Amino acid sequence: MLRWIIFVLIYLGLSFYIVQALRTLFRQPWVYIIYVLLSLAVLVNFIYQFTAGEEAGRVLSRPKSYAFGFLLTMLSFKLVIILFLFSEDIFRILSGTYQKLFGESKEFSLPQRRRFLGMIALGIAALPFGALLYGMYKGKYNFKVLKYTLEYDDLPESFDGYQITQISDIHSGSFDNRKKIEYGVSLINKQKSDLLLFTGDMVNNKTEEMLPWADLFSTLNARDGKFSVLGNHDYGDYIDWETEELKRENLEDLKRLQRDMGFDLLLNEHRYLQKGDDRIALVGVENWGKGGFKKAGDLKKATSKIAAEDFTILMSHDPSHWSEEVIYDKKHYHLTLSGHTHGMQFGIEIPGWVKWSPVKWRYKYWAGVYKELGQFINVNRGFGFLGYPGRVGIWPEITVITLKKKALT
């Protein structure tokens, strides 16, 4: 309760501070009245959704997700304005103090707040405000197909030009627009890849979240089949279950559902993909993540029956598994496919120029292709979204990777 009181007081204090600034910028009272009403509506909705309106047994329901998104949008607007105006107020106080101590008049007075600086602050604050709203309205379904060509000396000849489509982090419990998801699924199928790989987090918490979408994702296809692994959210670890048995049943239901949808779910297992006399090994491990995430992945078990010289592709949901274990394993993993980070659903990416997201401070390998010790990893930015119900700058991704035999020089 105390945390809520502190939060409300800080939020209202920021709002009051900005109202005083708006009154110096606009003579029409309706401008700051609208701002006050909007701020209060966002606050009341957030408090309601996270207290009385909380959906039992769920960490982040859809209404709560949007309440959080609108609060984040409003706070970004407030903080940018305050960054400008507070710094100016500090200057005004210092200036007034100087005049009182060293000026001709000994009366303390503050210079007037400069109107143009307030207008600049308002204009800059509108940028993240608009971007976050756009991210919730359109950005979260702004699907992008990203294509990479990876070359290998030891790729079997029959697999030269082999095409893999990777998707990750569906998070079906967050979806709210069937037509947009239909478009995303059709975009995956349009790639006409040899192989389709899904690298975990089909749901947010419960198998039932995927049921309305199962028929749609069942239409995904690839010539050599579609394979999947589990992500950290698939285990149901983030909600309180009445019994452990219900939690186990939920996981078994999800495994069964994936198989019913046509996915070959790999649980610390491997499969061979064969073309004539050539083959490559496809390995799938359960979730393995550092920093408190489940460590159910077992490389030794998954690769116990494959040859050391096999060209090997690994599916592992969390990229920290690659950096902590995979690249140092005695087995050489030519390509690892991961997801998990979502690119934090927020950042700036201009190909060839800028690639930045706050998530880089948590994960060294957070989006795209990396190479270490002669091994590649692709970290998919995710198909869905979680928490903030949108994406800004880091768009939902469908990855297409073409394997090539490196030409002899």
Q: What is the DSSP string of 390-402?
A: S-BSS--EEEEEE
Here the tokens at position 167 are 């998707």
Domain co-membership, 183 together with 306 = yes
Domain co-membership, 173 together with 34 = no
Residue 363 near residue 347, CB atoms below 8 Å: no
Kindly state the average pLDDT of the residues 77-89.
Answer: 78
Kindly state the average pLDDT of the residues 143-163.
Answer: 97
Q: What is the pLDDT of residue 29?
A: 80
Domain count for the chain: 2
Which backbone phi and psi does 240 adopt, to 5 degrees?
-90, 115
pLDDT, tens digit, for every residue of 338-356?
999 999 999 999 888 999 9
Q: What is the pLDDT of residue 87?
A: 67
Residue type, 193: S
CA distance 395 to 363: 18
pLDDT, tens digit, for every residue of 14-56?
888 788 777 777 777 877 788 889 999 999 999 999 887 666 4
Q: Three-state SS for 33? A: helix
Does position 165 have pLDDT exceeding 90, yes or no?
Answer: yes
CA distance 133 to 127: 10
Of the listed ranges 50-54, 154-158, 305-309, 322-326, the least confidently predicted one is 50-54
Q: pLDDT higher for 24 or 58?
A: 24
For residue 74, CA distances in Å to 31, 62, 80, 114 come to 16, 18, 10, 24
Q: What is the pLDDT of residue 110?
A: 46
Q: pLDDT higher for 266 or 16?
A: 266
Residue 303 near residue 332, CB atoms below 8 Å: no
Strand partners, 173: none
Domain co-membership, 160 together with 192 = yes
Strand partners, 355: 349
Domain co-membership, 156 together with 116 = no
Kindly state the average pLDDT of the residues 358-383.
Answer: 96
- Residue ranges of the alpha helices (H) in 26-61? 29-49
Q: What is the pLDDT of residue 254?
A: 98
Which pLDDT band holds residue 270 (cuts at 50, 70, 90)?
very high
For residue 303, CA distances in Å to 217, 239, 265, 280 come to 29, 32, 16, 13
Mean of pLDDT over the chain:
90
Residue 337 near residue 229, CB atoms below 8 Å: no
pLDDT, tens digit, for every residue of 174-185?
999 999 999 999
Q: What is the pLDDT of residue 97?
A: 63
pLDDT, tens digit, for every residue of 172-227?
999 999 999 999 999 999 999 999 999 999 999 999 999 999 999 999 999 999 99
Domain co-membership, 118 together with 262 = no
Domain co-membership, 163 together with 128 = no
Positive/negative CA dihedral, 297, 256, 208, 69:
positive
Domain co-membership, 255 together with 321 = yes
Q: pLDDT higher for 252 or 10?
A: 252
Q: Three-state SS for 205? A: coil
The residue behind tokens 């998530």 is 359
- Domain ends where: 87, 121, 137? 137
- Percent of the chain whose predicted confidence (pLDDT) is above 90: 73
- Domain ends where: 113, 137, 161? 137
Q: What is the pLDDT of residue 57?
A: 46
Q: pLDDT higher for 335 or 26?
A: 335
Does position 58 have pLDDT exceeding 60, yes or no?
Answer: no
For residue 33, give its domain range: 2-137
Residues whose CB is less than 8 angstroms from the CB of residue 114 and which lie 6 or more positions away in sequence, other chains included:
88
Q: What is the pLDDT of residue 139?
A: 96
Of the listed ranges 16-20, 67-71, 96-100, 375-379, the least confidently predicted one is 96-100
Does position 292 have pLDDT exceeding 60, yes or no?
Answer: yes
Q: What is the pLDDT of residue 320?
A: 97
Q: What is the pLDDT of residue 118?
A: 72
pLDDT, tens digit, for every residue of 99-115?
666 655 555 454 455 66
Domain co-membership, 154 together with 127 = no
Domain co-membership, 133 together with 154 = no
The residue behind tokens 């292709």 is 369
The CATH number of the domain where 361 resides is what? 3.60.21.10
- Domain ends where: 137, 160, 195? 137
Positive/negative CA dihedral, 308, 312, 318, 322:
positive
> How many CB atoms lie under 10 A from the CB of residue 249?
14
For the question of whether the overall pTM of this predicted structure is more than 0.85, the answer is yes
Domain co-membership, 23 together with 84 = yes
Of the listed ranges 120-134, 283-297, 298-312, the least confidently predicted one is 120-134
CA distance 235 to 385: 18
Domain co-membership, 126 together with 166 = no
Domain co-membership, 284 together with 356 = yes
The residue behind tokens 């046509």 is 262
